[in-house]
């Protein structure tokens, strides 16, 4: 059955890197007979320039209709002075909330070819391959009530509310257990069970869910310990599941273990496995338009898209193998360049992945 992919190149280096990922997707589409169809739309600053808003109605309806979305990046200095509600980033937040993309998957993979990019010792990180599953639409970032209020003594008090309902925990838990099932069957749930009631419930639901996934080994860890373990011995983890705020912090920490932001993909999915896939990095306005951005994070995001939303595991694996092969060949964009390797442009990197396929 044919499936549709919506391309949202966005701003900055977005169009350059999405163009390379599109070529790769079209290639595996042919090779594996996937019957994918492609469409594209405006989001972020480029949408503001063309229509006045960061998420035009037309883009939202195309996004709703698509099986999967591949996004480059949004934002840049050109739009920094706009009021909050009209900023390019609102385009992304609008897509996340309208499509109910509650599950954010961020792998942190250190390719052995790039081990020297990490700030940790090679034996601690080489071969690192973990996934953080972060709840994306709930928790303290969205909980009510929230605000800044005045106390009787006249001083101001800021407050936020950390809330999760059972159904919110259960649905992110299921995504995490299923992710672990597809990998090494080890899931670590991160909470603050000793201090926060909401995470007492979180832990209870994770334990309850684990009965449905007897092949997955579930463990629990306090968030402070998890932050420490990630830099001490990150390879002990396979899949980590946690709430919105802890996941925000831990996934950035895990990304830095690999030392190369240009290599890291991400996925945000809803209950129907419809997903938005994008590199972890931003629009990199400092290098936009120069043809030097690393397209591999976007190409690897396309691989995740094939795996999680388009039911095409073999094509996903083929792309990942092709990326590994071009690294073996010593091809490097500027951000991952090191001595003895060959520096290539964005387009040359894309072409090399195509050739390796
Ligand atoms: P955002 O707020 O959108 O996350 P940011 O300000 O955190 O953006 P990025 O846009 O991710 O930052 O850029 C951070 C640095 O990493 C910049 O110097 C940028 O040039 C570099 N960078 C980001 N992505 C890439 C890439 N794909 N290839 C090469 N360099 C990159
Ligand atoms: Mg950033």
For residue range 255-280, what is the model confidence (pLDDT) as tens digits? 888 878 899 999 999 989 899 999 99
Instruction: Decide: 182 and 174 in contact? Cβ < 8 Å.
Output: no
Rounded Cα distance between 93 and 95, Å, is 5
Rounded Cα distance between 29 and 35, Å, is 6
Mean pLDDT of all residues in the chain?
95
Residue owning the nearest CA to atom 19 of ligand 1: 284
pLDDT value at residue 245: 96
Rounded Cα distance between 191 and 180, Å, is 18
Helix or strand (DSSP H, E) at 129: strand 129-135
117 pLDDT higher than 90? no
pLDDT value at residue 121: 86
Residues at the binding site for Mg(2+) are 224, 248, 252
165: its two tokens? 């309902």
Report residue 339: phi and psi, to 5°: -55, 140
pLDDT value at residue 224: 98
13: its two tokens? 């280096």
Residue owning the nearest CA to atom 13 of ligand 1: 284
ipTM of the complex: 0.95
pLDDT value at residue 122: 84
pLDDT value at residue 176: 97
Q: How many CA atoms lie within 13 A of 98 on its CB side?
A: 17
Residue 139 Cβ inside 6 Å of ligand 1? The answer reads: no
CA 261 – ligand 2 centroid, Å = 10
pLDDT in tens, 163-215: 999 999 999 999 999 999 999 999 999 999 999 999 999 999 999 999 999 99
Rounded Cα distance between 20 and 292, Å, is 12
106: its two tokens? 């961020």
Residue of 49, 212, 252, 328 with catalytic role: 252
Whether 248 is catalytic: yes
pLDDT in tens, 32-89: 999 999 999 999 999 999 999 999 999 999 999 999 999 999 999 999 998 877 899 9
Contacts of 318 (CB under 8 A, 6+ apart): 28, 31, 32, 357
pLDDT in tens, 293-307: 999 999 999 999 999
**Which ligand 1 atom sits closest to the C-alpha of 281?**
11
Residue owning the nearest CA to atom 31 of ligand 1: 262
**Which ligand 1 atom sits closest to the C-alpha of 13?**
27
Residue owning the nearest CA to atom 16 of ligand 1: 284
Instruction: Tell me how far CA of residue 12 lies from CA of 46, 49, 170, 265, 284, in angstroms.
Output: 9, 13, 37, 17, 6
Q: How far is CA 91 from the centre of its chain?
A: 16
Catalogue all structural domains in the chain, each as residue range(s) with its CATH number. Answer: 1-106+264-357 (3.40.718.10), 129-257 (3.40.718.10)
pLDDT in tens, 307-325: 999 999 999 999 999 999 9
**Using only C-alpha atoms, what is the Rg of the chain?**
20
Rounded Cα distance between 136 and 348, Å, is 35
pLDDT in tens, 85-97: 789 999 998 999 8
Residue 261 Cβ inside 6 Å of ligand 1? The answer reads: yes
pLDDT value at residue 329: 97
Whether 49 is catalytic: no
For residue 241, list its beta bridge partners. Answer: 133, 189
pLDDT in tens, 126-159: 889 999 999 999 999 889 999 999 999 999 999 9
Rounded Cα distance between 60 and 43, Å, is 9
């Amino acid at each position: 059955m044919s499936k549709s992919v919506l391309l949202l190149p966005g701003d900055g280096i977005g169009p350059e890197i999405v163009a390379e990922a599109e070529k790769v997707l079209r290639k595996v589409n042919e090779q594996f007979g996937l019957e994918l169809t492609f469409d594209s739309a405006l989001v972020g600053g480029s949408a503001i320039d063309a229509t006045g808003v960061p998420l035009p109605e037309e883009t939202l309806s195309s996004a709703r209709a698509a099986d999967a979305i591949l996004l480059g990046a949004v934002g840049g200095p050109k739009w920094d002075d706009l009021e909050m509600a009209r900023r390019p980033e609102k385009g992304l937040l609008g897509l996340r909330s309208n499509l109910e993309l509650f599950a954010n998957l961020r792998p942190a993979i250190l390719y052995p070819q790039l081990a020297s990019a990490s700030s940790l010792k090679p034996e601690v990180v080489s071969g690192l391959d973990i996934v953080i599953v972060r709840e994306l639409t709930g928790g303290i970032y969205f909980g009510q009530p929230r605000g800044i209020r005045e106390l009787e003594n006249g001083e101001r008090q800021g407050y936020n509310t950390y809330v999760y309902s059972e159904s919110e925990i259960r649905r992110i838990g299921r995504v995490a257990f299923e992710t672990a099932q597809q990998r090494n069957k080890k899931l670590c749930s991160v909470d603050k069970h000793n201090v926060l009631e909401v995470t007492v419930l979180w832990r209870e639901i994770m334990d309850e869910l684990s009965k449905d996934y007897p092949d997955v080994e579930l463990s629990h860890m306090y968030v402070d310990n998890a932050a420490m373990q990630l830099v001490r011995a990150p390879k002990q983890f396979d899949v980590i599941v946690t709430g919105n705020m802890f996941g925000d912090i831990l996934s950035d920490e895990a990304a830095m273990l690999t030392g190369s932001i240009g290599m890291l993909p991400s996925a945000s999915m809803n209950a129907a496995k419809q997903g938005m896939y994008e590199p972890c990095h931003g629009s990199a306005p400092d290098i936009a338009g120069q043809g030097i951005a690393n397209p591999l994070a976007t190409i690897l995001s396309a691989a995740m898209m094939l795996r999680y939303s388009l039911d095409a595991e073999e094509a996903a694996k083929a792309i990942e193998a092709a990326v590994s092969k071009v690294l073996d060949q010593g091809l490097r964009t500027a951000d991952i360049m090191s001595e003895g390797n060959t520096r290539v442009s964005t387009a040359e990197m894309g072409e090399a992945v195509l050739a390796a396929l």
